[in-house]
Amino acid sequence: MQQAMLSRMSRSPDQQAGSDRDDRGEELARHSSELTRQAEDLRERQKDVSASLAETSSHLVATERRVADTLDKLADTRPESEARLRRQAHEAREFADSEEESADKHEEDA
């Protein structure tokens, strides 16, 4: 440690400035490569999240379509509630359609 201090003290100001620039350059290079690695990790995580969202969306679509089919079957057996049940089935199908578009977008991002 004393040797390093003596070495620094024996350098001319120009040599010291050059050494400081070299040190900063090395530090910036380390930070740059660390940021690049972190960016790559984030891109991979984003792909994983998009894949999970696509899978979840596709499950929602299937569930909403089953709900709509069930509501239609109920409407067939309950004439007094038929209009309401058919309306709810229609809404469930509309939701499934919009969620399917969302699933497609997430699959593209994955």
For residue 74, pLDDT over 60 is answered with yes
Domain that holds residue 48: 19-109
| 104 in any annotated domain | yes
Residue whose structure tokens are 């919009």: 98
Tell whether 9 is covered by a domain: no
Rounded to an integer, what distance in angstroms lies between the CA atom of residue 4 and that of residue 60? 66
Six token digits for residue 110: 């994955």
Measured CA to CA, the distance from residue 15 to residue 108 in angstroms comes to 54
Q: Tell me what pLDDT residue 9 has.
A: 54
10 within some domain = no
Structural domain contains residue 70: yes
pLDDT at 69 > cutoff 80: yes
pLDDT value of residue 56: 93
Residue 4 forms part of a structural domain: no
Q: Could you tell me if 53 and 106 are in contact, meaning their C-beta atoms sit under 8 angstroms apart?
A: yes
How many folded domains does the chain comprise? 1
Averaged pLDDT for residues 91-95: 97
- pTM for the model stands at 0.62
Let me know if residue 68 belongs to a domain.
yes
Q: What is the pLDDT of residue 49?
A: 94
Asked whether residue 64 carries a pLDDT value surpassing 90, the answer given is yes
Domain-embedded: residue 47: yes
- pLDDT for residue 81: 97
Sign of the torsion angle spanned by Cα atoms 96, 102, 108, 110:
negative
| Closest by CA position to 89, among listed 97, 58, 101 | 97
CA distance 74 to 68: 10
